[in-house]
Structure 1
Amino acid sequence: MQFCISGYKKHYIQTLKLGGPIMLGQLGIIIVGFADNIMVGHHSTGELAAASFVNNFFTLAFIFGIGFSYGLTPIIGTLFANQQYQEIGATLKNSLLINFIVGILLSLCMFLLLLHIDLLNQPEELLPYIIPYYILQLFSIIFAILFNSFKQFSDGSLDTQTPMWIMLGANILNIIGNYFLIYGKWGFPELGLTGAGISTLGSRILTLLTFGILFLYGNKYKPYLTGFRKGTINRFHISRLIKIGLPVGLQMGVETASFSLSVIMMGWLGSIALAAHQIVGVVTTLGFMVYYGIAAAVTIRVSNFMGKKDVPNIRRASFAGLHIILLVAVLVVIFIFCLRNQIGYLFTTEKEVVMLVALLSLPVMAYQFGDGLQILFSNALRGIRDVTYMAVAAFICHFLLSLPIGYFCGFVLNWGALGIWCGFPIGLTTLGIILYYRFNRLTRL
């Protein structure tokens, strides 16, 4: 046992050192999500329900775009391990272009959805809140995706702190902007949910501008700047980014789509179910973002070992990340269990919503371990650039397991909102097991 611990000890330390800033940055997003929903929920329950509808659809667009940009991390990690700094700069230049194109395409898709939003049969009284907030989110897609391209470049070159500080600073300004614009403080107009949308758009523009200025003028990035300026847009870089990024984007998009489509089913149950779904969705990101921070560090470390063709350390780094994630999952389950009856009151005073949040906490606790498992091994596979298999597995588990089970339990068995959430523990745990066996087989070979 002592031998095993000593073999993993350095991997625990390095993973936490890299993943800590990523986790803090992601926790900053959670805090903003909590603040947004608390402020909006106390302004009106109708606006909270509208935010649930819009955010879940835009999460699909954002997650696909961010997932696509994740294709940059293992490429940068491998180049960084071999000290190919000019090639890193040239790859970043191509990444920004292809991610800009992806941002435009996603914006067009979301615009078409807005034109046909009446087909989704959402409560009529929510549309005055939904439409302006939807438009503001639409404009912010490109800024979020381009910033993440810079972030993945920085993470892959082992600098996880710069993106963390930029994200935390922007999140603080976002919360302050929410306070002013939602409630109309200090002479600002009282805009409710629309004010939250304006503040979010402003913070996303700020993150991109800040990172762009730091990259162009900061000493830290000088080794990459020459390659960035001299590098050309070419088929080799673009095709390599698409080959890795597209399956990752699809895999993450499929997972998010299953949650987003469940929002439509929640809308069939009314505003109370939508509001409760939004609250539980924000709470469950607590575990997801921490798992992601650890798993992202695993991707960085695995891609570095991949560049050195060091398979034993690829395995050790991955399983060290798994150990940390399983420990965090235990803490998340304990946290949700202890506070399940109080969480809803942070967002609203309506007792019916609070009671439904407590009920939906049960399936959320049930899928924490499966969620951590699938996040860890999808990122480990990303580090070794085996991404197509996990996209197919994600489609099967989410669209052929999670959603059908949720519909069956929710409407055939008539379990309502609880039934809709029952599909997620089964789908996520199955996916985690499949990806574990895939990674284990490839690295043993």
Structure 2
Amino acid sequence: MFETKTKAEKFRMLIKIVFPILVTQVAMYLVTFFDIYMTARYSTEDLAGVSIGSSFWVPVYIGLAGILMSITPIVAQLMGAKKKEEVKDAVQQGIYLAVILALIVFIFFFFSIEPLLSLINLEPAVASVAKNYIFAMSFGLVPLFVYNALRCYIDALGSTRISMFISLLSAPINVFFNYLLIYGNFGFPELGGVGAGYGSAITYWFVMLIAVWIIHTRKPFKSFNIFRGWAKLSFIRLREISLIGVPIGIAIFAETSIFSAVTLMMSTYGTITIAAHQIAINFTSLLYMLPLSISMGATILVGFEVGAKRFNDARQYSWISVAAAVGFSFVSAFILFSMRHQIAGLYTSDPAVIQLAVQFLIFAALFQLSDAVQAPVQGALRGYKDVNITFVMALISYWVIGLPVGYLLSTFTGFEAFGYWIGLIAGLTAGAITLSFRLNVIQKKIAAH
């Protein structure tokens, strides 16, 4: 990364940083995407089970992994301030934290998943797939969390193409092991949806080992000696990472968990509704990788400029990121609306599931604009290390506005399951408005000083 002078240069720099992140995010998401897609081709019951399992897995994993995202602004600001010698310690402590978080999640799932599933009115076959899918995925927790820490370090140095290369390898590895373990090919056991969990866990180990090898042997990472001379576990450094990371994690958890909560609450409508809802969410989440990637790019670029005390450049990067995401949101909405029948047909041949999924995809098209605003705004705020007020706003938007609106509409009106999607639109819109206001306030305060 380097200093840019004009808005055109900034836009080119944003694209340079974001494109590899986008490919990386899509590649990493394809692990979950192919779990859902390949399971959908296996059976509707297994699809429902994996959907329920993912609804527990994704928010817990993403929320805690979000804590590790603080490594990106910390390292970016250290590099902007030319404090290269402090990067090694920050990353090593981040790896320690990754292992601790992975163990916490493993213990949580081991003791709580059966009691949690018993609270939901699920068919026995669906509940069994959900439980075993989560247990299978748990074998990949440590490498998944460690890779997240390493990736944040790689991206903070502006080497997002390396993350792209590593993540591109994950999709074919995952598809290969899913092919073996879901369908029982080449003499492997036929495990259905549970096989998708084991396939993902194996993939995470491969991806982490590749990242370790690159960081240890290739420039510019080799010069930092990340895996040599390990420092002792420092609670002071862990506290610094956590003070920034925990609010980030809570904000991400608040956003992702509302989608999972909606999936779980829709379980009362039956297996077909769960399957149709998951198809719509799965494809929409794939499109969300674009604003999410712009958000991560904004964190890197804003953090770099703030570290160098070029606050006007940081402000310009913030709003260029928002403008870019909004522009692309219209393309996403068009794809969802105009190709909704084809999208649903990719996942299943069940006419009842397709008919319902097509209707859900219309609602998905409607919240593309809100997603496109709130994601890069959150990314910019993380670049400023402004995370505490942000997570409060996220909690209010999604859980005080979004989910209650969805519950009221589904319970007391004729919208039924569609009421939850209207609630999602309301929550995401509220988040976009409040977070934009917060970013503007932060930038005005900096300008005033």
Settle same-fold status: TM greater than 0.5: yes
The code of the aligned residue for 2:324 comes to I
The Cα shift of 1:40 comes to 1.0
Query: Is residue 357 of structure 1 aligned with residue 353 of structure 2?
Result: no
2:187 is paired with a residue whose SS is: coil
Query: After the TM superposition, which segments of 4 or more aligned residues of structure 1 sit over 6 Å from their partners?
Result: none
Alignment match, 1:99:
98
The normalised TM-score by structure 2 is: 0.94
Query: Are 1:62 and 1:144, in contact at CA under 8 Å, matched by a contact in 2?
Result: no
The Cα shift of 1:180 comes to 2.1
Alignment match, 1:282:
282
1:320-362 alpha-carbon deviations (Å, 9 max, x no partner):
1111101110110011011112211111111111111111112
The Cα shift of 1:414 comes to 3.6
CA RMSD of aligned residues (A): 1.6
Query: Are 2:315 and 2:443, in contact at CA under 8 Å, matched by a contact in 1?
Result: yes
The Cα shift of 1:141 comes to 2.3
Q: Give distance in 1, aligned partners of 2:100 and 2:10.
A: 37
Say how many residue pairs are matched.
440
Alignment match, 1:214:
214
The code of the aligned residue for 1:265 comes to M
The code of the aligned residue for 1:20 comes to F
1:245-299 alpha-carbon deviations (Å, 9 max, x no partner):
0000000011112111111211111101110111111111122111111111111
Query: Are 1:86 and 1:227, in contact at CA under 8 Å, matched by a contact in 2?
Result: no
Query: Is residue 72 of structure 1 aligned with residue 77 of structure 2?
Result: no
Query: Are 1:366 and 1:425, in contact at CA under 8 Å, matched by a contact in 2?
Result: yes
Alignment match, 1:331:
331
Which structure 1 residue ranges, 5 or more long, are not aligned? 1-5
Q: Give the 5 Å matches for 1:77-156.
A: 77-116=76-115, 117-156=117-156
Q: Give distance in 2, aligned partners of 1:38 and 1:219.
A: 37
Q: Give distance in 2, aligned partners of 1:313 and 1:82.
A: 15
Which structure 2 residue ranges, 5 or more long, are not aligned? none
Q: Give the 5 Å matches for 1:31-430.
A: 31-116=30-115, 117-225=117-225, 229=229, 231-430=231-430
Query: Identical aligned pairs, as a percentage?
Result: 26
Q: Give distance in 2, aligned partners of 1:197 and 1:325.
A: 32
The code of the aligned residue for 1:49 comes to A
Structure 1 pair 90–405 and aligned structure 2 pair: CA distance change class (3 A)? same
2:229 is paired with a residue whose SS is: helix
1:100-129 alpha-carbon deviations (Å, 9 max, x no partner):
212211222222331302122222231232
Q: Give distance in 1, aligned partners of 2:234 and 2:186.
A: 51
2:327 is paired with a residue whose SS is: helix
Query: Are 2:291 and 2:375, in contact at CA under 8 Å, matched by a contact in 1?
Result: yes
Deviates more, 1:211-220 or 1:140-149: 211-220
Q: Give distance in 1, aligned partners of 2:220 and 2:203.
A: 24
Structure 1 pair 246–164 and aligned structure 2 pair: CA distance change class (3 A)? same
Structure 1 pair 361–398 and aligned structure 2 pair: CA distance change class (3 A)? same
The normalised TM-score by structure 1 is: 0.95
1:240 is paired with a residue whose SS is: helix
Q: Give distance in 1, aligned partners of 2:230 and 2:27.
A: 35
2:51 is paired with a residue whose SS is: helix
Alignment match, 1:443:
443
Query: Are 1:299 and 1:383, in contact at CA under 8 Å, matched by a contact in 2?
Result: yes
Q: Give distance in 2, aligned partners of 1:124 and 1:412.
A: 29
Deviates more, 1:132-141 or 1:292-301: 132-141
Q: Give distance in 1, aligned partners of 2:387 and 2:226.
A: 31
Q: Give distance in 2, aligned partners of 1:288 and 1:381.
A: 19
